[in-house]
Chain A
Amino acid sequence: MKRHSKDELAHDHNHDGIDRRGFLKCMAWAGTGALCLMNGGVLRSASLSGRSQEAARSAADLSFVQISDSHMGFNKPANQDVVGTLKAAVEKINALPNPPEFLLHTGDISHLSKPEEFDTVEQILKSCVAKDVFYVPGEHDVINDEGAQYLERFGKGSTGAGWRSFDKKGVRFIGLVNVMNLKAGGLGSLGTEQLAWLEQELKGLSTSTPIVVYAHIPLWNIYPEWGWGTEDSAQALGYLKRFGSVTVLNGHIHQTMQKVEGQVTFHTAASTAFPQPEPGKADGPGPMKVPAEELRKLLGITDVNFVRGQQALAIVDSKLT
């Protein structure tokens, strides 16, 4: 019987370079800070050993970090020091071997849309090595004022409710807003205006342009009962279908989750404030209280490295401990 090395592609039924065994292994690693790199159809792994990670990172043409759900202002038992945990996240970022060029914050920056909450986050992030931060709002950032305050602070260079598109070293970043005009009983919503803008934005790009889409609420239906999905994301994903490498980065669910579908890698980040239960494992998606010594293991940052020529971006989640 032909023996395959552990990480070699054994069955590539969909011809998408993903082998089920390798994929499942990658899923198991996702929460542990391991690296999944795809190179020429082979899903390879690098454990958390510093040297192999460094090798992967040193090959990176572009590095950035995603943080999410800082919920500044939250002060209930699940975490009574969200300032401290956000500062710990910044320390973690500053200690990365490949300093990130910028940060993506995928929303719920504040807890109650209060000015002082936004102020505090901006202040804390000033001590990050990455000076540029690109935000998208979470539903907690647009309370009471239809997002007026959010736009005033973070909307420069954006369109509509705060969506934007920018290029970094040939990678196209697209920030989407799916927390406005939510309907009773519904999920996240992109809206027709934003979808039309997205379609137009993508038109001129070649299919080999790596795309990174970031938005607060997941663009895939993780658990609709808890509002973990977006009503009209299918249309957006339709526009992205032709591209060879698409990475979708979301927050909102306060836990890491990853899914690969063809050329699209979906990933959600942990919160820097408090964890939430896994789908269906509690009455509701509220803050999950854990013993004090466990908290920082369930909070984290996400380091993303792009190596030109590799299909998928290397996404590494790290806990705050």
Chain B
Amino acid sequence: MKTWTKCVYAASVLGMFVAVGSLFAKPAHEKETGTEAKVEVEIDNFAFSPQDLTIAAGTTVEWVNRDDIPHVVVSDDRKTFKSKVLDTDEKFSYTFTKPGTYTYFCSIHPKMTGKVIVQ
């Protein structure tokens, strides 16, 4: 193989490792303070972002309403977790201790749905 071709080959292999490696990187907004982890879900434009979230058991999810309309975060079963009505800039937190898949929605705008997968 010519030297130049070798270089390109090596660079692309390295690039692949970096790309694969980034899949395992922690999301930028996750903070760790000791053993606690907190992840933020933003509510804006009638949507939860990220809509699907995967976290480790013991993580606290904090929903922040950045929309100009109030929303209410409620688990589908209406029992597991339920926020009070959140006006703009208000927050709601819930710590997920048990692994599982938790689907939720906004109880006043039910078309808004989200999912938390706890591993």
Partner-B contacts on A (CB < 8 A) = 76-78, 111-113, 139-140, 143-144, 182-187, 224-227, 283-287
A76 & B88 in contact (Cβ 8 Å cutoff): yes
- A185→B110 contact, CB < 8 A: yes
Q: Are A184 and B105 in contact (CB under 8 A)?
A: yes
Q: Is the CB of A283 within 8 A of B46?
A: yes
Number of B interface residues at 8 Å Cβ cutoff, please give it.
Answer: 22
Whether A184 touches B84, Cβ cut-off 8 Å, given contacts A283-B45, A283-B46, A287-B69, is: no
A287 partner residues in chain B, CB cutoff 8 A: 68-69
Task: List residues of chain B with CB within 8 A of the CB of A112.
Answer: 70, 85, 87
Return chain A residues, CB-CB under 8 Å to B107.
143, 182
28 residue pairs from A and B, CB less than 8 Å apart: A76-B68, A76-B69, A78-B68, A112-B87, A139-B108, A140-B70, A140-B108, A143-B70, A143-B72, A143-B85, A143-B108, A144-B85, A182-B107, A183-B110, A184-B110, A184-B113, A185-B111, A224-B111, A225-B111, A226-B46, A227-B110, A283-B45, A284-B45, A284-B46, A285-B46, A286-B45, A286-B69, A287-B68
Which residues in window 97-113 of B have CB below 8 A to A?
A: 103-105, 107-111, 113
A283 to B, closest residue via Cβ? B45
Query: Does the CB pair A187–B46 fall under 8 Å?
Result: no
Q: How far is the CB of A227 from chain B (nearest CB, A)?
A: 4
B111 proximity list for chain A (CB < 8 A): 185-187, 224-227
Query: Complex Cα distance A161/B25, Å?
Result: 50
Residue B62 interfacial (CB < 8 Å): no
Decide: B84 and A185 in contact? CB cutoff 8 A: no
* A-B Cβ contacts below 8 A, count: 60
Taking the complex as formed, is B40 at the interface, i.e. its CB lies under 8 A from any CB of chain A? no
- Alpha-carbon gap, A77 to B110, bound state (A): 25
Q: How far is the CA of A182 from the CA of B88 in the complex (A)?
A: 22
Verify if B67 is at the interface (C-beta below 8 Å from A): yes
Partner of B103, one of A77, A78, A184, A187: A184
Give a binary string over B9-25; 1 marks a CB under 8 Å from any A CB, 0 the rest.
Answer: 00000000000000000
Residues of A within 8 A of B87 (CB): 112
By a CB distance below 8 angstroms, the chain B residues around A224 are 111
- Whole-angstrom distance between the Cβ of B111 and the nearest chain A Cβ: 4
Closest 10 CB pairs of A and B: A284-B46, A184-B105, A182-B110, A139-B108, A227-B111, A76-B68, A283-B45, A284-B45, A143-B85, A184-B76
Q: Are A111 and B70 CB-contacts (below 8 A) given A183-B110, A184-B104, A284-B47?
A: yes
Option from B46, B85, B104, B110 in Cβ contact (under 8 Å) with A286: B46
Chain B residues with CB below 8 A from A182, complex form: 107-108, 110
Q: How far is the CA of A183 from the CA of B74 in the complex (A)?
A: 10
Give per-residue flags for B75-87: 1 if the beta carbon is below 8 A from chain A beta carbons, else 0.
0100000001101
A183 to B109: give the CA distance in the assembly, Å: 10
Q: Which residue of B lies closest to A286 (CB)?
A: B69
A182 to B45, CA, bound (A): 20
How many whole Å from B101's CB to the nearest CB in chain A? 13
The residue among B45, B88, B110 with the most chain A CB atoms within 10 A of its own CB is B110
Distance between Cα atoms of A224 and B110 in the complex (Å): 11
Q: Please, which residues of chain B bring their CB within 8 A of the CB of A78?
A: 68
Which residue from chain B places its CB closest to the CB of A179 in the assembled complex? Answer: B108
Query: Chain B: which residue is nearest A225 at the CB level?
Result: B111
